[in-house]
C-alpha cells in the first residue's frame, strides 16, 4: 500500500466510525433496520452539475464518504462537523419529507453525498421512488459498487483527479463501466455518464485519460470550485467564470477531447457555497 492508498483506507475506516458512533444506538433498535443516514433533504431546485445540469430536482444528501478529497465542498458529510444533523430515516420517511417540501411539483430526485454508494440500504429508497414514478439520479466516485445502482435512472460516475489527493482504482472503474454499460435508457435521457472535475493541467490530462479509456461513455468536464466557504456568491461566481473560460480554451485545443461537454458548476454560480439550495 502506498501512502495515498493508506490514507484512503484510513478515511474509509474513519467514515465508518463517524457513522457508527452516531448511529449505533439507533441501529440497535429493530425498528431502525434499513434506515438511511440523511444530512439534508431539500428542493425543488436545479441540478447544478453533470449530465442533468439545469434539471428540476429534489435532493437527498446522505452522510459518510470513503474519500477525503482535498477540495471537498461537502466535507460536513464526513468530517464530523455535521454529525449532529444526521437523521436515520426509513425510505418512507424520506418520501414524506420530499412530498411535504415539493408536493406534486417534482418528478426527479438526486441522491447525493458524501458517497451514497457506501449505503447498501439505499436500494429501498430507489425502489420506493420508482413506485412513485419519480426518476432518480446518483453521483459517486465509483469506489464502492452497489447492485441498486442498476435501478437508478441517471448515474454519474465521477472519478477524482490528482488534485484531490485520491487514487483511482482503474480496475474497479473498468468494472463499473462494464456493469453500467449493460443498461438501456427507457427514454432519451442518458443513463450513465462520467464527470471529471478539473483544477489544473494534471487534472485535465487525467480527464483525457479517462475519456480515451471509455470513449463511448458521455463525458463531462467541469471546473472545480477552490472556494468552499466564506465568500459572497458574486465573488465566487466571477472567479468560477474565469476558470470556466480558461477550461473551455484548454479543452478546445486538445485532440483527445472531441466528444466532451465542458460545464461550470451552475448552482455555485447562482448561490455561491450556500447549503440547501
- Residues 77/119, Cβ–Cβ less than 8 Å: no
Among 67, 176, 192, 199, contact with ligand SF4 (rule: CB under 6 A): 67
204 belongs to the binding site for ligand SF4 (CB under 6 A): no
265 belongs to the binding site for ligand SF4 (CB under 6 A): no
In the complex, the smallest distance separating the C-beta of residue 78 from ligand SF4, rounded to whole angstroms, is 6
Neighbouring residues of 28: CB distance < 8 A, sequence distance ≥ 6: none
- Residues 56/103, Cβ–Cβ less than 8 Å: no
- By beta-carbon proximity to ligand SF4, the closer residue of 68 and 90 is 68
12 belongs to the binding site for ligand SF4 (CB under 6 A): no
Name the one range near ligand SF4 by CB under 6 A: 45-53, 112-120, 185-193, 231-239: 112-120
Binding mask 139-158 for ligand SF4 (x = CB under 6 A): --x-----------------
Cα–Cα distance for residue pair 88/115, rounded to 1 Å: 16
74 belongs to the binding site for ligand SF4 (CB under 6 A): yes
Cis geometry, peptide bond prior to residue 44 (ω within 30 degrees of 0): yes
Separation in Å, CA 247 to CA 41, 170, 225, 244: 32, 25, 13, 5
In the complex, the smallest distance separating the C-beta of residue 222 from ligand SF4, rounded to whole angstroms, is 12
Separation in Å, CA 105 to CA 60, 61, 114, 161: 16, 20, 26, 36
How many residues in the shown chain lie near ligand SF4 by CB under 6 A?
12
Cα–Cα distance for residue pair 166/179, rounded to 1 Å: 23
Name the one range near ligand SF4 by CB under 6 A: 71-79, 173-181, 199-207, 267-275: 71-79
Residues that bind ligand SF4 (CB under 6 A): 65, 67-69, 72, 74, 77, 113-115, 141, 160
Amino acid at each position: 500500500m502506498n501512502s495515498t492508498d493508506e490514507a484512503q483506507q484510513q478515511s474509509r475506516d474513519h467514515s465508518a466510525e463517524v457513522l457508527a458512533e452516531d448511529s449505533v444506538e439507533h441501529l440497535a433498535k429493530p425498528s431502525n433496520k434499513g434506515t438511511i443516514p440523511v444530512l439534508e433533504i431539500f428542493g425543488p431546485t436545479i441540478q447544478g452539475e453533470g449530465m442533468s445540469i439545469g434539471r428540476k430536482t429534489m435532493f437527498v444528501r446522505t452522510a459518510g464518504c470513503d474519500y477525503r478529497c482535498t477540495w471537498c465542498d461537502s466535507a460536513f458529510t464526513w468530517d464530523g462537523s455535521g454529525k449532529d444533523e444526521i437523521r436515520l430515516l426509513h425510505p418512507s420517511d424520506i418520501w414524506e419529507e420530499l412530498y411535504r417540501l415539493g408536493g406534486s411539483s417534482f418528478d426527479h430526485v438526486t441522491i447525493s453525498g458524501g458517497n451514497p454508494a457506501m449505503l447498501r440500504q439505499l436500494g429501498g429508497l430507489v425502489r420506493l421512488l420508482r413506485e412513485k414514478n419519480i426518476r432518480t439520479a446518483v453521483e459517486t466516485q465509483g469506489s464502492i459498487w452497489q447492485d441498486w445502482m442498476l435501478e437508478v435512472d441517471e448515474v454519474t460516475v465521477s472519478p477524482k483527479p490528482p488534485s484531490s489527493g485520491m487514487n483511482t482504482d482503474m480496475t474497479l472503474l473498468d468494472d463499473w463501466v462494464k456493469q453500467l454499460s449493460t443498461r438501456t435508457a427507457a427514454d432519451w435521457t442518458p443513463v450513465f455518464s462520467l464527470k471529471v472535475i478539473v483544477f489544473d493541467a494534471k487534472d485535465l490530462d487525467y480527464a483525457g485519460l479517462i475519456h480515451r479509456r471509455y470513449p463511448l461513455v458521455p463525458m463531462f468536464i467541469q471546473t472545480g470550485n477552490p472556494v468552499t466557504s466564506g465568500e459572497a456568491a458574486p465573488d465566487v461566481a466571477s472567479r468560477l467564470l474565469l476558470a470556466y473560460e480558461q477550461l473551455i480554451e484548454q479543452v478546445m485545443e486538445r485532440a483527445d477531447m472531441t466528444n466532451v461537454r465542458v460545464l461550470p458548476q451552475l448552482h455555485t454560480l447562482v448561490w455561491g457555497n450556500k447549503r440547501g439550495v
